[in-house]
Structure 1
């Protein structure tokens, strides 16, 4: 059986003794370079506040990034610019076009995601905080309350997503995000399975948000759900009694050219057990749903392998051609 492409994970290798020695030398040089860069680097982004700074009011952007990294919510990943088609029966292989998501993060405009002929923008709506700063890796971090913050990321750190970072029991239970399409308020509509469809003011489906999830410092799931009002998506997180910090993450499925179905651990386990409703899981991919369902229906073996390595199954389609370039991949489990 052919191995699936791994997005965001380096291939495992068994180096020779000489190669290991070279690797240790390279690692030492890299560590010195990183240390020097930390001491001398100038801000890599321009939005009024330097990367990694605390910003006005003291938002700890570096600390928020560290929480998200420790939780596995964000990590430096290489965008899957070229991925081989990996059908369950190895019937065919093909090369997908080299593309990037085109998503950007700015403290002023939030997370901006080109989606075909439209542009989706997402910004957090803080309760009281006004401080904001870019983290060392470019996450846009916004103060909310003394015990909570927001962060925005792109696919270069794992997903085009907004995060609520909850640090203590006095933090709010509701976190709001404003959605705009082409500069106008979006229309948000609950979708089958718990996600949210994002439409333009004219009713065109532009993108979708994956079902709500949240987890605490131990990795345990925290009860959470969405509610919508106009162009405001609110994620409600019942974090009382949880181990802090708690993170929650509304993330979107599509970018400029690709739509990705990311199965959770539970969905991957259901797929491995051949009880996943593949039609319902793939529905969000629109025209790519039939191909997705056909591929997932036979991917139970890959799902078992993914679970065994602590990963989940993803299915990616090129929006311009749903048939020629679909592929399965092992991905980091976002929930």
Structure 2
């Protein structure tokens, strides 16, 4: 089934031909969860974070616009939106299921095309991107060794604090206050300026997700990106290049990487059912320099059952 563009160029992790989803932010010892960020013009901010993300293909402002009769116009509304005052909003079928994410702290902020930028200091910034310009994700763009090693986001669903749970595979299950699963955040990743992966992990406290990064041996800038894997229309679990290679080698390898997503997939035993087809798709994805994804719709117009797809790699 042909890939749909939903959450991001999702690269936009988020869904460019298929992307979606995920998060990062700063954890300040005294969390000011309700603090509001001062809004300034984009010209007043250090615009380097957007340039850095654009350079490696994680931000594409042109993807948010189209040309109509010689005039530039915004493309139709995406199932996600990133603005400085609200943060990243993953729009649900109703207000009670819509999810918002914003860096924890009081930052100067500005909206750009398909993105919101929050300047922490000269050493780091946050960028939230939506499905029109890349993935539905929050990026920590870190410029020096002097930057914090922890980055946090506050997540709410329907205006109420979300419930976050770390899964055995490293993903974060995001549920509403009643315990209903709403979204999934891909396992933590971080890379330095050379593309080298860095040690990184998630921790959760109530509705705050924190990513910790080890800068040992890193060349800057460092970029870290937790991302969402679901919107109101579609769900996509995106696997990394390493995971795709593991899945391509054998059905057992696919079962291994699939296991971390079972808590969010709609069918019991789905990993075994999808194994054969997913190994074939994983091999094709690897040959194309892309990655394996597992997608299922929310009923209309896409089927609810999971199926393997080829997606652009986020890591």
Q: Does 1:265 align with 2:272?
A: no
In structure 1, C-alpha distance between the alignment counterparts of 2:249 and 2:62, rounded to whole Å: 29
Superposition TM-score, scaled by structure 2 size: 0.76
Unpaired runs of 5+ residues, structure 1, are 12-46, 80-98
Using the TM superposition, name which of 292-301 and 235-244 deviates more: 292-301
Contact 1:6-1:329 at 8 Å conserved across structures: no
- Report what 2:193 is aligned to: 217
Structure 1 residue 327, shift from structure 2 partner: 4.5
Where do 1:245-260 residues align within 5 Å? 245-260=221-236
Sort the Cα spacing of 1:6 and 1:105 in 2 relative to 1 into closer, same or farther, 3 A: closer
SS in 2 for 1:171: coil
Q: Does 1:167 align with 2:143?
A: yes
Q: Of the candidates 113, 122, 134, which is equivalent to residue 111 of structure 2?
A: 134
- Report what 1:104 is aligned to: 81
SS in 2 for 1:233: strand
- Report what 1:39 is aligned to: none
In structure 1, C-alpha distance between the alignment counterparts of 2:187 and 2:92, rounded to whole Å: 20
Q: How many correspondences in the alignment?
A: 270
Where do 1:180-195 residues align within 5 Å? 180-195=156-171
- Report what 2:90 is aligned to: 113
Sort the Cα spacing of 1:125 and 1:54 in 2 relative to 1 into closer, same or farther, 3 A: farther
Unpaired runs of 5+ residues, structure 2, are 18-37, 65-75
In structure 2, C-alpha distance between the alignment counterparts of 1:122 and 1:329, rounded to whole Å: 27
- Report what 1:176 is aligned to: 152
Contact 1:288-1:317 at 8 Å conserved across structures: no
- Cα RMSD of the aligned pairs, angstroms, is 2.9
Contact 1:6-1:331 at 8 Å conserved across structures: no
Sort the Cα spacing of 1:281 and 1:189 in 2 relative to 1 into closer, same or farther, 3 A: closer
Q: Does 1:300 align with 2:285?
A: no
In structure 2, C-alpha distance between the alignment counterparts of 1:263 and 1:203, rounded to whole Å: 26
Contact 2:199-2:213 at 8 Å conserved across structures: yes
SS in 1 for 2:262: helix
Q: Does 1:332 align with 2:312?
A: yes
Larger RCO (CA under 8 A, 6+ residues apart): 2
Q: Indicate the structure (1 or 2) with the bigger Cα radius of gyration.
A: 1
SS in 2 for 1:73: coil
| Structure with greater proportional strand content | 2
Superposition TM-score, scaled by structure 1 size: 0.72
